[in-house]
Amino acid sequence: MNEYTSQPDLYAVIMAGGSGTRFWPASRASRPKQFMPIAGGSAMITQTVARMEEMVPIERVLVVTAAHQAEQVREALPGIPDENILREPESRNTAPCIALAALEIARRSEQAMQIVVPADQVIEPPDSFYATVKAACTEAGDGDCLITLGIKPTFPATGYGYIQAGETLRTHDGTPVLAVDRFVEKPDEETARGFIESGGYFWNAGIFAWRTDAILAALNQHFPEAIAALDNVGTGKDLDAAYAGLSSVPIDIAVMEQADNVRVIPIDYRWSDVGAWDALPEVHPPDADGNYAVLGQDGLLINEDSKGCITWTEDDSVVALIGVEDMIVVRTENALLVCPRDRAQDVKKIVEQLKQKAPRFL
């Protein structure tokens, strides 16, 4: 166990039920983003759990995933106990996911501490992350507060939620803990630019720390339908039926924006949720022409007077670029995506069209 924390009742909850539609056509229903080697090497979920295992042994790592993805979880994480794979019958966003995990952890250790992370983020260096987790667990362990991590924004992103921080409440080994004034859902670019200029705003990383009893109390207060539905599972109520009646809502809206005991810990090290194709430059170096190529082992990028392009193919094919700039080219076995880098977020519009016209390609 890592030197930063040796808490015997620290659990890690890995949220791994996303569909990764903005990484179509490489990300599909049969293999969404968290099971892809987006950041190089192994699958993103494998890298996430390896990072968490420095603090939490695998028997206290829980993965919440879609039921049809459970086999992929086992393949990516061969050491995880089967009972630690919590299978959601359908996607209901992060609030039900977190409620399901919290109830399971409470059955094992009601006073346990939890660190909750998405399966598909890049965080470096790990030692800085461990120090933040230690501070978050110290703060949450001393009271009933709910901790979220905030990322110092580097550009006026419109795809992230923002946290407006208040006063500094205290520090733990030099790590500040700030009050939260408000959460702001994904703003337009002008508003986001104003946030950066004014200071005191952070991107919402979707990483949380809390005691199990504290998050269950907050869910009971602000999202009681989840506890009422899921607490009965295992005592006669079917999980499928329980999920069918739940609202699909993120934990930020269900709990964090309503609770008065939320704290934010800013982080200033490398973080990326690699949310769409235009984020690949955050995790891969450019070549001499500023192109970013992720190819199969024997794949090849041939470039003639092209720069700033992002290319992806997992097989051994050749990708040739001639006289183009700032383009995204993604080739898979049965699909090809070509778009400007500044239109990467519009991939979701293609996915919506395919849902209606050709779902076999999703």
Please report the DSSP string for 23-80 in residue order: GTTTSBTTB-GGGS-TTSSS-HHHHHHHHHTTTS-GGGEEEEEEGGGHHHHHHH-TTS
Strand 146-151 relative to strand 262-267: parallel, antiparallel, unpaired? parallel
Q: Is 213 exposed, middle or buried (0-12, 13-18, 19+ CB in 10 A)?
A: middle
> What's the average model confidence in pLDDT over 325-331?
97
The pLDDT of residue 141 is above 50: yes
Question: Taking 80 as the threshold, does the pLDDT of residue 2 lie above it?
Answer: no
- What is the mean pLDDT of the segment spanning 122-144? 91
Q: Measured between alpha carbons, how far is 135 from 117 in angstroms, rounded to an integer?
A: 16
Residue pLDDT, tens place only, 249-305: 999 999 999 999 999 999 989 999 898 999 999 999 999 999 999 998 899 999 999
What's residue 15's pLDDT?
97
Model confidence at 40, pLDDT cuts 50, 70, 90, reads confident
Q: pLDDT grade, residue 350 (50/70/90)?
A: very high
What distance in Å separates the CA atoms of residue 185 and residue 192, rounded to the nearest whole number?
A: 10
Supply the mean pLDDT for the chain.
92
Cβ(97)–Cβ(219) under 8 Å?
Answer: no
Any idea which residue has 């992720």 for tokens? 294
Give pTM, 2 decimals. 0.92
pLDDT exceeds 60 at position 236: no
Task: Give the C-alpha distances (Å, rounded to integers) separating 94 from 161, 226, 287.
Answer: 14, 11, 38
Our measurement of the distance from residue 314's CA atom to the centroid of its chain's CA atoms, rounded to an integer in Å, reads 23
Q: What pLDDT, on the 0 to 100 scale, is given for residue 237?
A: 64
For 187-228, write each residue's pLDDT tens digit. 899 999 999 999 999 999 899 999 999 999 999 999 999 999
Q: Which amino acid is at 12?
A: A
Q: Is pLDDT of 147 > 90?
A: yes
Q: Report pLDDT digits (tens) over 333-345.
A: 999 999 999 999 8
**Which pLDDT belongs to residue 5?**
47
- Predicted pLDDT of residue 97: 96
Q: Could you give the CA distance from residue 243 to residue 100 in angstroms, rounded to a whole number?
A: 10
Poorest-confidence range of 97-101, 140-144, 171-175, 334-338? 140-144
CA distance 177 to 167: 9
Judge whether 46 and 119 are in contact, CB under 8 Å.
no
DSSP string computed for 208-270: EEEEHHHHHHHHHHH-HHHHHHHTTBTTTB-HHHHHHTS----HIIIIITT-S-EEEEEE-SE
Lowest average pLDDT, out of 33-37, 85-89, 149-153, 237-241, goes to: 237-241
Which residues are CB-contacts of 288 (< 8 A; sequence separation ≥ 6)? none
Tell me how far apart the terminal alpha carbons of the chain are, to the nearest angstrom. 40
pLDDT of residue 114: 96
Q: Which residue has the higher pLDDT, 261 or 41?
A: 261
Residue 18: its pLDDT value, please?
Answer: 83
Across the chain, how many H-helices and E-strands are there? 10, 17
Query: What domains are defined for the chain?
Result: 10-272 (3.90.550.10), 277-361 (no CATH)
